[in-house]
Amino acid sequence: MDIVYYLVQNMLPVAIPLLLVALGGMYSERSGVINIGLEGIMLFGAYFGALFVYNVQGSSMGPQTILLLGMVIAGLAGFIYSLLLSFAAVSMKANQVISGTALNMLIPAAVLLFSKMFFNSDGITTNKNFYIREMPILGDIPIIGQLFFQRTYLTVIIGFVFLAIATVVLYKTRFGLRLRACGEHPHAADSVGINVYKMRYAGVSISGVLAGIGGFFYSVGVMDGNVNGHTGVAGFGFLALAVMIFGQWKPIRIMFAAMFFAFLRTLAYSVSLIPFLFNLGINQTYYKMLPYLATMLVLALTSKKSRAPKAEGIPYDKSQR
């Protein structure tokens, strides 16, 4: 049972960044823009979040307050950075995949450049501990308390709040309906007076905010508050895209997909703690490849009947109506 507790407690902080970033990708694609730059946006948000933490870690603010403020900063940074993609992909009608790739390439280099210049290292190292040993009241609930509210981070709760908000906004509001229309049939949406460009800007911006926050949560929950330009966010932005496809562009399914991938990754990194797997004597590298291999397997099985938004990837051109 201890191993189960251990795995769940370690899985959740990994699953939350995946969940948030995949939700971001969902918003972007539902509006019709493929956002392959999620990886770069994550790192951008993570870097600014960590920069903030680095600057205030000496002050008397409590760690959870710093976490919340850092989240706001990271979201803002992600939003600003995602405007570059919106501008290229929506306003300039550029190839969305190429502009996203450019965003991905820019940030690791920029992070390395500035960290080397101002910190003499490959990234930012913070010493603030956001770890929560046991949450008051909630942590005392038997089993559930142990699974979800002990040895965890505040990010887990915030992540689920965001999931709820994202689901409601997408399905229960006028904005969500319009956004989905722009991803399925932008010309029809335009004909009833919806501004497709605005909607796509909104979709990409939401994905920017969520990816920025997701990046910061990655650095908090997975990297212990550190960010560096070499490993970046270790392909989490791309994994999130796969999670989104596996989740068929639907919020709740995306959550389960994120949990699945996070579980595999946690398993891969805790092989030495699980006697049964450790005794098999398989090279650890194979376990590290597991999330990526599982992605391919899942995609191979699900892509035939994929429910991708119909107009994703196609720049909207008013004159083609």
Partner 1 sequence: MKDKKGASSKTKFDIKKITQLQGYSSFTSALMAIVLGLIFGFLVMLFANPGSALAGFRFVVLGGLSRIGDVFYFATPILMTGLAVGFAFKMGLFNIGASGQYTMGLFFALFVAFTWELPPGIHWMAAILAGMLGGMIWGFIPGFFKAFLNVNEVITSIMFNYIGMYLVDMWVQTNAEMYVSSTTRTRYVPMNAQIPSLGIAGSNVNFGIVIGIIVAVILYIVLQKTTFGYELKATGFNKFASEYAGMKGKKNIILAMVISGGLAGLGGAFLILAPSGIAGSSMTYEPINIIAANGFNGIAVSLLGNSHPLGIIFSAVFISHIQRGGTLASLVGYKPEIIDVVIAVIIYFSAFAMIMKSSVTTFIKSKLGKEKDKEKNNLAKEAE
Residues that bind partner 1 (CB under 8 A): 36, 84, 88, 92-95, 97-99, 101-103, 105-106, 108-110, 112-114, 116-117, 229-231, 235, 238, 241-242, 245, 283, 285, 288-289, 292-293, 295-296, 299-300, 303-304, 306
Task: Look up tokens 């109506």; give the residue.
Answer: 321
Instruction: Report, in Å, the least distance between residue 220 CB and partner 1.
Output: 22
Residue 84 or 181: the one with the smaller Cβ distance to partner 1 is 84
Instruction: Report, in Å, the least distance between residue 320 CB and partner 1.
Output: 15
Instruction: Report, in Å, the least distance between residue 118 CB and partner 1.
Output: 9
Residue 59 or 285: the one with the smaller Cβ distance to partner 1 is 285
Instruction: Report, in Å, the least distance between residue 43 CB and partner 1.
Output: 13
Quote the distance between the C-alpha of residue 314 and its chain's center: 23
Residue 92 or 188: the one with the smaller Cβ distance to partner 1 is 92
Closest to 237 (Cα-Cα) out of 61, 30, 34: 34
Instruction: Report, in Å, the least distance between residue 238 CB and partner 1.
Output: 5
Residue 84 or 210: the one with the smaller Cβ distance to partner 1 is 84
* Distance from C-alpha of 187 to C-alpha of 41, rounded to nearest angstrom: 29
Instruction: Report, in Å, the least distance between residue 239 CB and partner 1.
Output: 9
Give the CA-trace dihedral at 175, 180, 186, 190, to 10 degrees.
Answer: -20
Residue 140 or 317: the one with the smaller Cβ distance to partner 1 is 317
Instruction: Report, in Å, the least distance between residue 297 CB and partner 1.
Output: 10
- The answer to whether the beta carbons of residues 27 and 206 sit under 8 Å apart is yes
Residue 114 or 256: the one with the smaller Cβ distance to partner 1 is 114
Give the largest CA-CA distance in the chain. 64
Residue 177 or 234: the one with the smaller Cβ distance to partner 1 is 234
* Distance from C-alpha of 260 to C-alpha of 91, rounded to nearest angstrom: 37
Instruction: Report, in Å, the least distance between residue 240 CB and partner 1.
Output: 11
306 backbone dihedrals φ, ψ, rounded to 5°: -70, 140
3-state SS, one letter per residue, for 237-297: HHHHHHHHHHCCCCHHHHHHHHHHHHHHHHHHHCHHHCHHHHHHCCCHHHHHHHHHHHHHH
- The answer to whether the beta carbons of residues 153 and 13 sit under 8 Å apart is yes
Residue 22 or 156: the one with the smaller Cβ distance to partner 1 is 22
> 7: how many CB neighbours lie within 10 A of its CB?
18
* Beta strand residue intervals within the chain, DSSP E: 123-124, 132-134, 150-152, 227-228
Integer Rg of the chain from CA: 20
